[in-house]
Amino acid sequence: MNVSRSNEPRPLDVVPSFELRIVMASDPRFLSVVRHAIAALAEVLGSSEAESRATVLAIDEALTNVIRHAYHGEDNRPIKLACTARGLRLDLRITDQGEAPDMTRICAHDPAAPEPGGRGTHVIRDVMDVVSYERTREGNRLTLRKEFSRHA
């Protein structure tokens, strides 16, 4: 659904903000729910459709990597997603309690090669403005940031 936007300028002191926290099981069926939530949020923030789709893909790939690589396909492990939107900036933290990512495998393959795997981390790096992996007391944490372009 398209949201019609007023042409009137927004007052300078009004900065749209939104916080979303999701705690989900590592069940791939929930990925669609997250995608639709992020897409709706990106639309409200004013991103273009193409930028929104790319961002949704990058976040989906990050969650997919948690399910496949941190939890090895187990579908009942916890994933936390904290998402904060302010202005045109989207900040995300994805936390899991699975195996730590193997940093040597991140962006290790040529994505243009006709081989099945290894594209997810390239998408995340290419689309997002900030990508940071760290190990915390809570578990593995992936921090992502996207600055959307102002869309007419």
Partner 1 sequence: MTTLVRTSEGTRIVDVTGEIDLSSSSALRRLLFETLQGAERLAINLAGAKYIDSSGIATLIEVQKEAQRAQKEMVLFALSTPARDVFALTHVTKVFRILETEAEALKP
Binding stretches for partner 1 (CB under 8 A): 27-29, 31-32, 35, 50, 53-54, 57, 60-61, 64, 67-68, 111-112, 114-117, 119-120, 122-123, 126-127
Give least dist CB 38 to partner 1, A. Answer: 12
The upper half-sphere exposure of residue 61, i.e. CA atoms within 13 Å in the direction of its Cβ, equals 22
17 versus 64: smaller Cβ distance to partner 1: 64
Residue 39, classified by CB atoms within 10 Å of its CB into exposed (0-12), middle (13-18) or buried (19+), is: middle
Give least dist CB 64 to partner 1, A. Answer: 5
Give least dist CB 119 to partner 1, A. Answer: 4
Number of Cβ atoms within 10 Å of the Cβ of 78 = 15
Q: Which residues, including other chains, have CB under 8 Å from residue 13's CB and lie 6 or more apart?
A: none
126 versus 138: smaller Cβ distance to partner 1: 126
